[in-house]
Every structure is written in C-alpha cells, then in structure tokens.
Amino acid sequence: MLVEVEWQKLRAPEIRAIAARPGALAILPIGSLEQHGPHLPVITDTASASAAAIAAARLVADEVPVVVLPGLWLGMSEHHLPFGGTITLDYATLRAVLGCIVRSLVSGGFGRLLIVNGHGGNIDPLAVAVRELAVEYDMPIVACLPWDMAPDEVASIMETAPGAGHACEGEASLMLEIMPDAVRPENFAAALGNQKDDWHLPRGASRFYSFSERRPVTGTMGDPRPATAAKGAAILTAQAHAVAQLIRDSAAWTPPDQVWAPGRGQRSTMGRDQA
C-alpha cells in the first residue's frame, strides 16, 4: 500500500501522528512564480521542486516519518520582472515566511526540515536563512537543489547541455513529464532568439544582473527543442534518488551547534555533543 506523503492530502490527526514519531521530517518544496519563456508555465520551478520532493519522500516513507508540504510558489525572482508574469519576494520577507513555517513545524512536533529548491535565485538567500533558522529554532534544516544533486545522471540524459539552464531542455523535459498540458512545444524554436552570452565578470566577483541583460528577447537559457517526457521522467528519477540519499545521510541531520548560546566560546570546540 502506497504511503501518503503529501501534507495537503492528509487530515490533521494523521499529520500529528507523523510528527509524533522520532526523527519526523517535514519537506518544503520552494520555487518561484516567474517567466519561463514562451513555452513553459510560470510555475515551472515550484512544480519541479514539488515533484522531486514527493518522489523522494515516497522512496523513504517506509523508513522515515515524512510529509511534504505544498510547494511555496514565492521566491526571489526580481531578476525576471522585466519579462512580466513574475511575482517576487525580497529577502526580508522570504526569511520571515520561512521563519513562520519553521516555527509552525516546531510547534507541531517536527524535528527536522528539508527544503527542496527548484529556483536558482533562491540558492543564496536560502543558504543564509537556513544557517540562521537552524540555530534559532534548534532544528536541523537542510536546503538542497535537485538539479545539482545528480550531475552525472542528468548529463547522461541531456543532449544540449550537461545540466539545467532556464526553460531549457532539462526543465522542458521535466515539465512535459509532470505538467504536459501547460507546455507549448510549438514555441520551443522561438525560445532560441537570445543565446548571446557576453556578460562576464572575473572569477570571484559578483553583482546583480536582470535576466533581460543576460538573455533578452525570450528569457530562455538553453535549447528546449530536444525535450521529451521520457527524458523528464529519467531526470525526475535521478533527482528523487539523490534527495532520498540526502534524507538517509545521518551526517546531514546532526543537531545545530548553539553558537549564540551564552558562554559558548568558553566551552568545547569539538561539537555540540561534547560542549
């Protein structure tokens, strides 16, 4: 019998029972609501993160008390605003929303949180938020990007690039698998009108660029034309297994060191268990 892992399909007593078990894990998919060219829906990043999270949770549901929250469809996407179709948070608001979610999970009895991210613009803010929230709520919190977690497997599936760009072969394939009615293959060729890449900074330097500066005209990075649902299914399988491996990795789930605790600098530096 298939174990239900989707929070939105469960009743409150069922979620309460999951949270009561030792090591209860909540998974939060997060993506964005942003332009993905003329061929993919604006919910692409959220849909892909949710698909990977649910598939991974099903792989471990017999081993781990786990439940997957509905995908958070708001991320940091200000760089896509020039194309329209985009709604974004700023960092302070994203941090506050995540804080409220973590606080609710702690209140509900969950002991761990995995954030499965489908949007490149969330990588940096999530890295900062996770390091703060883990210590603030004394909860192991891990953020991951499935697109980066099975590089060899994904590269072996793709024809035009080793990994994901934006609205590219990989994302188009995944959406053909999980949300085919929202994909417009007839617009794949039109998405290729902006492949010039003449913005570069020295290694180690960073600054803000909008996506209209990086990929004008259609806002696409990569070639979606070779996309197929079969490739999408293979990519999703590779991502799910990689996320499941992370869930099973005990080194990822050690309690956070309470670095801000009074007198922490006077105690052991060998880790929390020895402090």
Question: Could you give the CA distance from residue 94 to residue 88 in angstroms, rounded to a whole number?
Answer: 9
Question: Could you give the CA distance from residue 17 to residue 110 in angstroms, rounded to a whole number?
Answer: 10
Query: In which band, very low, low, confident or very high, does the pLDDT at 194 lie, cut at 50, 70 and 90?
Result: low
**How many of the other CB atoms lie within 10 Å of CB of 129?**
22
Cα dihedral value 126, 4, 147, 171, nearest 10: -110
State the average pLDDT over residues 101-121. 98
Cα dihedral value 34, 70, 230, 4, nearest 10: 180
The larger pLDDT score, comparing residue 247 to residue 215, is at 247
pLDDT of residue 215: 87
pLDDT, averaged across the chain: 95
* Within-domain flag for 212: yes
Do 138 and 256 touch, CB atoms closer than 8 A? yes
State the average pLDDT over residues 39-43. 98
Task: Give the three-state DSSP class for 218.
Answer: coil
H or E element, residue 92: helix 91-108
* Within-domain flag for 188: yes
Question: Could you give the CA distance from residue 101 to residue 80 in angstroms, rounded to a whole number?
Answer: 26
| pLDDT tens-digit series, residues 219-231 | 999 999 999 999 9
Q: At 113, which CATH number?
A: 3.40.50.10310
State the average pLDDT over residues 140-166. 95
Number of domains in the chain: 1
* Within-domain flag for 130: yes
- pLDDT of 185 above 80: yes
* Within-domain flag for 264: no
Q: How far apart are the first and last CA of the chain?
A: 44
Question: Residue 96's domain spans which residues?
Answer: 7-255
- pLDDT of 114 above 50: yes
Do 172 and 187 touch, CB atoms closer than 8 A? no
Cα dihedral value 118, 122, 128, 133, nearest 10: -60
Position 167, amino acid: A
Question: pLDDT over 90 for what percent of the chain?
Answer: 89
- pLDDT of 2 above 70: yes
Tally helices (H) and strands (E) across the chain: 8, 4
**How many of the other CB atoms lie within 10 Å of CB of 248?**
13
| pLDDT tens-digit series, residues 45-99 | 999 999 999 999 999 999 999 999 999 999 999 999 999 999 999 999 999 999 9
- pLDDT of 274 above 60: no
State the average pLDDT over residues 107-129. 98
Give me the half-sphere count of Cα atoms (radius 13 Å) on the Cβ side of residue 156: 6
pLDDT of residue 197: 66
* Within-domain flag for 134: yes
Question: Could you give the CA distance from residue 215 to residue 213 in angstroms, rounded to a whole number?
Answer: 6
pLDDT of residue 201: 85
